[in-house]
Amino acid sequence: MFGKNKKEEKNNEIKLTDKGEIKEVEKIKDRLDPGEIVHIVAKQSRVKPGGSVITTPNTIFITDTRLIIRNPTMLGMRENFEDFSFDKLTTIKLEKGVFSSTLVITAPGMGTAARPGLGSGLIAWGRGEDGTIDAIPKDKAELILHFIRDKMEKIRTQNSQQTNNGNTGDDPLTLLKKRFVMGEITKEEFEDMKKILE
């Protein structure tokens, strides 16, 4: 989101105000879904441990629905992208270093999605199913961690509410039969309820 010259944070809404961040968002705007908003932009350090000394550093974008990593290669003449939807992430952890931080993310299938040496992945792999994003400024890493955790919690809450509401798609008679088969109700209760439903 674009703003004036200050950062505002209200109810998980972060407005981009830094001209460098806005310039980075312009580079990926064709990859954003309609209505998708970028809330946080973080660029890997060149000089801090884990940073990208020789190559162009990766840029991390946090939108309202996913994490996007832009990896410019060949001194910016080419770029690769990876994105991870928040509903697919299972965990996110923060490892704080002296100079910078590392985000560790886990999602099903990540361990086979990209491996070092295969040239296809942007995230460093090698911790089993975890992917790491190194050399992120500490303040940005904290923002990313809290933003993604909040989104993951909202998704889990929505999913559990849908499950609790019984959104199974079964009609009442089918549900009644399942309850009888599972032994939750007796044959007499089944027959009585069946008469009511018919």
**Residues 7-19: b if buried by 16+ CB within 10 A, e if exposed:** eeeeeeebebeee
Query: Which residues are CB-contacts of 124 (< 8 A; sequence separation ≥ 6)?
Result: 116, 131, 132, 133, 134
Indicate if the pLDDT at residue 181 is higher than 60: yes
Q: Where are the domains of the chain?
A: 9-163, 168-197
Indicate if the pLDDT at residue 103 is higher than 60: yes
Each residue's pLDDT tens digit, 52-100: 556 678 899 999 999 999 988 877 788 889 888 999 998 999 999 888 8
Each residue's pLDDT tens digit, 109-125: 665 544 444 444 555 54
Q: What are the structure tokens assigned to 148, written together? A: 């993604």
- Report the candidate in 94, 90, 97, 99 with the shortest Cα–Cα distance to residue 132: 94
DSSP annotation string for 63-109: ESSEEEEEEEEGGGTEEEEEEEETTT--EEEEEE-SS-EEEEEE-TT
- Per-residue pLDDT band for 182 (boundaries 50, 70, 90) equals confident
Distance CA 198, CA 193 (A): 9
Distance CA 68, CA 32 (A): 10
CATH number for the domain formed by residue range(s) 9-163:
2.30.29.30
